[in-house]
Structure 1
Amino acid sequence: MASMTVAQMVELFVKPDAPIHVTAFDGSSFGDPDAPVTISVNNARAVYHMVNAPGELGLARAYLQGDIDSPQLVPGNPYRLFGDLVAVKPYLRMPNPAQLAHALASVASHGIRRPAAPDIEGPGRLRRLTEGLLPHSKAGDAATVSYHYDQSNDFYALFLGPSMTYTCAVFDSPDTSLEAAQKAKLDLILDKLALRPGERLLDIGCGWGSMEIEAARRGIRVLGVTLSEEQVEWAQRWIRDEGLEDLAEVRLMDYRDVPEGDFDAICSIGMMEHVGHKHYPSYFKEIYDKLKPGAKLLNHQITRCNSHQGKKAGEFIDRYIFPDGELSSPAEIEMVIQDTGFEVVNQENLRQHYALTLHRWNENLAAHWDEAVRLVGEPKARLWGLYMAGCAYNFEMNHIQIHQFLAVKPEDNGTDVYPLRPWWPRH
């Protein structure tokens, strides 16, 4: 049986008239050279990655190591390629068992290999379990949050900008600057919470401290908690530099271990993705118990579009971005908030705003590409570019959404404690 070229293997899975051109290290090629997208298979390791981990994980491993590439890719911002590859999807096909066996035999004839995953790949779900890192336990959460956020603060600053705000901004128009949009997001949350000077705010998953700075500037007494040592170091220095130590504090602490209570408001901005669907009831109960009667909760999180979609992330996201991350639909989340005892006052979908935010982050990363590679290495810089561009595409296609939920903890005589109409200004 003759050995197959890479192009012949590609043709088993892609129809010949597909709008894609593939060139390979063995000299073979597939498709029209004038097709809108060209993929280069640079070495045999790319093929072995796809054989050992078919699908998104194998593709990611090959791309992060430079085993596959495309001249259409902009370093740090591969967004364009997602639309081009979606156009190829109708041309995909599945080979019959005999064809698949022939392709696998061709690969095996060059030796059976299992190439190492990129050094930046995290352990899979099974390995995390064997290491005692139970999903959404305190130890598991500390490990997964540290994996994602304890990178170089200077690297994050390259694409997040001076606000160091790693959540969806709020844009007045597509031309609004990232800094103005991030300021508008913080203002929107604080305006919804309607806190007065001297009142107390708990910020769960506070990141690098942007909410603490903005709240303290309003005279609000704010405590932020995070499981990332890098974020705590940055936030504490920022608070000192602003002279806000008497109003703002950031701790390296699990939200479940916060000893204080009777807060006037609690916000959770981009943290719920780490909690886990089954843990929503205990999460919101913990928040409920830490609030005064009549106090408010602002919960801001990425969501599924409906309750039929699966909760768990795919292998790529689980290994490289958010280990144990889970998403739910807005209806499922709101039901748990209400069942905990809260009254939900407002729900807002910011899906389009997150797509714009991610585009700005990708543009910043591309503009500072050489510095990003110097700080974290090319595989990790490629990873963040790929992740953010993919997220932007999925928000635009309405595959995922992001919602803010504003809720009130009832007083003994009800919740007649807020105005009849929305009290926050448009941002």
Structure 2
Amino acid sequence: MPTSPTSRTAPTATGTIPAQARTATARPARVDASRWPDVAAQPKASAVRTAVAERLVRHALSRLPLRARLAGRDSIGLGGPLMEIRRPDAFFRRIGASGLIGFGESYMAGEWDSPDLVGVLTVLAGNAAGLVPAPLQRLRKLWALRQPAAQANTPEGARDNISHHYDLSNDLFALFLDETLSYSSAVFRGFPAEHELLPAAQHRKIDRLLDLARVGPGTELLEIGTGWGELSVRAAARGARVTTLTLSREQQELARARIREAGYEDRVDVRLCDYRDVTGEYDAIVSVEMIEAVGVEFWPVYFRTLERRLAPGGRVALQAITMPDDRMLASNSTYTWIQKYIFPGGMIPSVEAVERVTTAHTALRTEQCDGFGMHYAETLRLWRERFEERADRVDALGFDATFRRMWTFYLAYSEAGFRSGYLDVQQMLLIREDTA
């Protein structure tokens, strides 16, 4: 696992950068090896692996609607958003050593950049299935990095994985989220969206989920994944009694404060509790973009827990990021850049995977499923723009330039996934088959 660059770590001296150049995509002056060992060091890749990687990447880029310029000289591609590969030797060596993890680390190191990062990544995401030749895809298990056992979402591992991301700093998330502190896709009335419309769009998303679960006066509601408490507040305002679970101490502390400020402390119980340990019976269960943190091997446990905790006639409303089933099956054991740096142990399901698991292990059935991926693309755009605008304030929290590049890449990478259709987001209604 990488070193977690939390705000509690002393700021790294990265040199003085002129204000007009201090954007999230500016090349880091120096990579701190103590915080980013795999970014600071050039990986050890054999000449053969590097040469093969260069040949494959050049061939792939030559067929794509973008323009890759190598060391300011020769260009590859059919034309489109510019990808500036500043250090081709280091770029190809990283990809030869660790594939897509190396691709992301090369960006973090400033070895490549783009004035339209989302555009470049959208092209790559939209053509992901064909970037690696079919014969090599069939040999994926031989060359792809495997997920480390330390990131498995056991009860102890899940706490560590969640802490890695969500305990970074409440102040960091507050810099780019809106006032609701909702860290999941909003639902807009139209595009393009503006940041001032984001709070209403987040409430629209929450209200749709609460309506799906039929949450109202007297409802006993279980929320799996508290976030910073906005859904609990809106459910309590409807007259529900809410038990909400989180593994993040930072989130629990701030959620309790926000719930208390809203006047619903008597209606909402914020527990530091794994979903596997919750007890009781609930009229409704809501979980927003939490299944992605469960892990493939624990999906049956997760859905059996939902079933056991659901009262007769109850309803489960989930919001989940999804990906095409064939891509999920091809990559569900591969170690990715997102897993290494952003969400350890994470795995995005497909709609079909949810149906397979619930059918095989529970009596839960999908009653409704609505996708709205472009709304997530717009949500991510607004977050990314706000994050980039507030680079100085990110620095002031103790996060260095390499962190800012990592976070910008994460937000742009995610936005590109939704813009290309590689990713989608669903609101799903599950009910027990014997009460359908």
The code of the aligned residue for 1:380 comes to F
**Identical-pair percentage:** 31
Aligned to 1:66: 110
Matches within 5 A, 1:15-414: 20=67, 22=69, 24=71, 29-31=73-75, 37-41=82-86, 49-53=94-98, 55-70=99-114, 72-73=115-116, 78-83=117-122, 125-126=147-148, 129=149, 133=150, 135-176=152-193, 177-259=197-279, 261-307=280-326, 309-310=328-329, 311-312=332-333, 314-338=335-359, 339-375=361-397, 376-409=399-432, 414=434
The code of the aligned residue for 1:357 comes to T
Contact 1:345 1:406 in 2 (8 A): yes
The structural deviation recorded for 1:372 is 2.3
The structural deviation recorded for 1:30 is 2.0
Change (3 A) 1:336 1:64: same
Change (3 A) 1:17 1:299: closer
Partners of 1:38 and 1:65 lie apart in 2 by: 15
The structural deviation recorded for 1:134 is 6.0
The code of the aligned residue for 1:406 comes to L
Contact 2:371 2:426 in 1 (8 A): yes
Partners of 1:48 and 1:61 lie apart in 2 by: 11
Change (3 A) 1:393 1:46: closer
- TM-score normalised by length of structure 2: 0.74
Aligned to 1:97: none
Contact 1:313 1:326 in 2 (8 A): no
Contact 2:86 2:112 in 1 (8 A): yes
Partners of 2:69 and 2:427 lie apart in 1 by: 43
Q: Secondary structure at the match of 2:328?
A: coil
Partners of 2:324 and 2:172 lie apart in 1 by: 31
Aligned to 1:423: none
User: Unaligned stretches of 5+ in structure 2?
Assistant: 1-49, 134-144
The code of the aligned residue for 1:68 comes to W
Partners of 1:277 and 1:87 lie apart in 2 by: 24
Partners of 2:185 and 2:222 lie apart in 1 by: 19
Change (3 A) 1:164 1:92: closer
Partners of 1:380 and 1:347 lie apart in 2 by: 36
Change (3 A) 1:404 1:59: same
The structural deviation recorded for 1:409 is 3.2
Partners of 2:232 and 2:130 lie apart in 1 by: 50
Deviation per CA, 1:340-379, whole angstroms, max 9, x where unpaired?
Answer: 1124321211222222221221122122222223322222
Q: Secondary structure at the match of 2:221?
A: strand
Give the greater-gyration-radius structure (CA): 1
User: Unaligned stretches of 5+ in structure 1?
Assistant: 1-5, 95-122, 417-427
Q: Secondary structure at the match of 1:29?
A: coil
Change (3 A) 1:244 1:164: same
Change (3 A) 1:330 1:85: closer
Partners of 2:126 and 2:349 lie apart in 1 by: 28
Q: Secondary structure at the match of 2:101?
A: helix
The structural deviation recorded for 1:65 is 2.5
Contact 1:342 1:407 in 2 (8 A): yes
Partners of 1:364 and 1:141 lie apart in 2 by: 29
Change (3 A) 1:247 1:65: same
Partners of 1:183 and 1:268 lie apart in 2 by: 15
The structural deviation recorded for 1:308 is 5.7
Change (3 A) 1:86 1:242: closer
The structural deviation recorded for 1:321 is 1.7
Deviation per CA, 1:240-293, whole angstroms, max 9, x where unpaired?
Answer: 22121011121211111123x121111111010111223222211111111211
For this pair of structures, how many residues does the alignment match? Answer: 365
Partners of 2:173 and 2:343 lie apart in 1 by: 16
Aligned to 1:110: none
> Pairwise CA RMSD of aligned residues?
3.4
Contact 2:319 2:426 in 1 (8 A): yes
The code of the aligned residue for 2:155 comes to K
Partners of 2:299 and 2:68 lie apart in 1 by: 46
- TM-score normalised by length of structure 1: 0.75
